[in-house]
Structure 1
Amino acid sequence: MQHIALSTGISLDVVTAGDPAHPAMIFLHGFPESHRTWRHQLPEFARDHFCIAPDQRGFARSDKPKGVDQYTPDKPVADLIALADHFGIDRFTLVAHDWGGAIAWMAALHQPGRIERLVILNAPHPLIFQRSVIDDPAQRAASQYIRAFRNPELESHIDRIGLEAFFDTSFAKHVDPALIAPEKAAYLDEWSQPGAITAMLNWYRASAIQVPEMDEAAPRPAFLDARFPPVTMPTLVIWGMQDRALLPCQLDGLDALVPDLTIVRIEDAGHFVPWEKPEAVNAAIRDWLAKE
């Protein structure tokens, strides 16, 4: 683990694996995790890539700048590019899950010259996600947790019940107990770092995605019906089909927005597919890289 000061003014904890002379892969985790999301991928791909996995801003022991505005998507995108610059990497394969995937979609749209290939795991394209949250009742229902995470009273609630109870009543209910139990202490350690809970939740609060109440007649943002720029690099999307927060409708129409698209559906995995089904994930990435 290295603690790296970036040109964005943020310092991140970063794990690296593999030979820096090999092609680079950068791995971005999501909520409520850390670089450990990729504990089954890093040893595999370090065999022939230089792998870089940061704890993103707000998570674990990386910097946690104060203020919701410090977590708008452009800030982690800037961290990503600064991280590549720190290692002298021009172009790289970007692998990302959950909120890391949201940042990866944004980076692919705004920094296409830096990203050679894109691998997305259970992270929705912004246009499809916003459209589905408004138009698809099932996805709107599944996304109501975002409204809860944006509630400014949530930290007080977590303080009252304690981190362990929060773990047991929120996160742990959505994953296989046999897989998550051995990791519980590591999560609680990361979440207990000063300011971590607020910083992690601020990713949701800073997002421009609108999540209406179930009975709300939500106005449609204009960009939903306008031309949206394509993602131009070769893209692999791996989806755990049992994801209860991000439903399979997130794959509908994706090919129109990503011309060079491969989709791999993992039927018996949920949202946390990198460590729920690591062998299937690694095989899918390996097969796709071999064809590119």
Structure 2
Amino acid sequence: MATLKAGDINLRVQAGEVNLRVQAGEVNLAWRQWGEGDTVVLFLHGNLASKEWIELAAPHFPRGVRTIAIDWRGCGDSDKPANLPDFSNYSIAQHADDMLAALDALGISFCHLATHSTGGIISTRMILKQPERFGRVFSLSPVGPQGLAFRPDQAAFFDKMKASRELTRQILAATAMSLFEPESLAEGPARFKPDAGARAGLFERIVDQTMAVSEGIWSGTPVTLTKEAASGELKARMGTITHPHLVVWGMNDAVIPEKDLKEMAALMPDCRFVAVPGIGHSMNLEAPEMYAGYFGAWFGGLTG
């Protein structure tokens, strides 16, 4: 794998090249690029996920847009350090710092952001820390600045998932519900609809990736998201986030409360909210071309 260190700012890669790595502080993070152009978009994936979640959508992104996707520490092909007892080295703030360090090493001084799920709250921390560095934000079913609180029994459920690929697959299927026969989501095992096509293969690869995430992700993310919700720090600062946001939410999403996203649209100065019928938590997997349409409408035609 190719590895970047801080200052290696002139790297150029072929569109879609995979298995690149960038030094971000104490960890090496895996990254991938699609497209070329002066408009740069950083994709921030969600919990238990990876950069590959936009693999089928990216070929439909507009010309002139360079999209970078980076695996969090503990996810995908990135380093998976042992977690500290309090999971502080897997906090939302730490993920944000990792991404900022990766952008430094890649020589990206300004970009836009595309986020999914927990990537949304990571982007909030990045924006508040370096507001001048970022432009527009496209947030798919994001964990908003409010955080997301997990009860002890909900957090403990992640232990059951990490011990069972079958259970993990069933839970991930529920986040991409439009790919599956409805009755199989309730009864299991989840069965793909006949038209799932390439999305089925990507989904199965994603399940395998999920089973390989670190303990800092399995157990740490519910802890750190709950801490964010309890602190209220980011929620209190929503009114100061002036970056244009497009928040898109699938109306069958059982992960992210609609009320949180409507609150974002109400309190953030430049935030619009769109609810999409027939889609669950993961439009980027369920309907990649639709996702690319929103992506292109938001980022296409920009000059930087």
TM-score by length of 1: 0.78
Contact 1:109–1:229, Cα closer than 8 Å, also in 2: no
Aligned: 1:62 with 2:78: yes
Structure 1 runs (4+) greater than 6 angstroms displaced: none
Instruction: State which of 205, 213, 222 in structure 2 corresponds to 1:204.
Output: 222
What is the aligned length? 263
The superposition leaves residues 177-223 of structure 1 with CA deviations (integer Å, 9 ceiling, x where unpaired) of 22464335413432343xx2523221222234477xxxxxxxx8675
- Partners of 1:7 and 1:210 in 2: CA distance: 23
SS at match of 1:280: helix
**Which amino acid is the alignment partner of residue 28 of structure 1?**
L
SS at match of 1:119: strand
Contact 2:120–2:139, Cα closer than 8 Å, also in 1: yes
Per the alignment, residue 61 of structure 2 pairs with 45
Equivalent residues in 2 for 1:156-235, closer than 5 Å:
157-158=160-161, 162-174=163-175, 175=177, 176-177=179-180, 178=192, 179=196, 181-193=200-212, 196-201=213-218, 202-209=220-227, 228-235=238-245
**Which amino acid is the alignment partner of residue 12 of structure 1?**
L
Per the alignment, residue 186 of structure 2 pairs with none
Contact 2:117–2:141, Cα closer than 8 Å, also in 1: yes
TM-score by length of 2: 0.76
- Partners of 1:287 and 1:52 in 2: CA distance: 18
Give how far 1:286 is off: 2.1
- Partners of 1:259 and 1:121 in 2: CA distance: 18
Give how far 1:226 is off: 5.6
Gaps of 5+ in 1: 134-142, 212-219
Inter-CA distance 183–163: structure 2 relative to 1 (3 Å threshold): farther
Contact 1:40–1:278, Cα closer than 8 Å, also in 2: yes
Gaps of 5+ in 2: 1-17, 181-191
- Identity rate of aligned residues, in percent? 24
The superposition leaves residues 220-275 of structure 1 with CA deviations (integer Å, 9 ceiling, x where unpaired) of 86759966542111111111121112121122232343211222221211111222
Contact 1:93–1:117, Cα closer than 8 Å, also in 2: yes
Q: CA RMSD in A?
A: 2.8
Aligned: 1:245 with 2:251: no
SS at match of 2:137: strand
SS at match of 1:207: helix
**Which amino acid is the alignment partner of residue 31 of structure 2?**
V
My pick for the range that moved more, 162-171 or 72-81, is 162-171
- Partners of 1:265 and 1:291 in 2: CA distance: 24
Give how far 1:37 is off: 1.1
Per the alignment, residue 269 of structure 2 pairs with 259
- Partners of 1:274 and 1:72 in 2: CA distance: 25
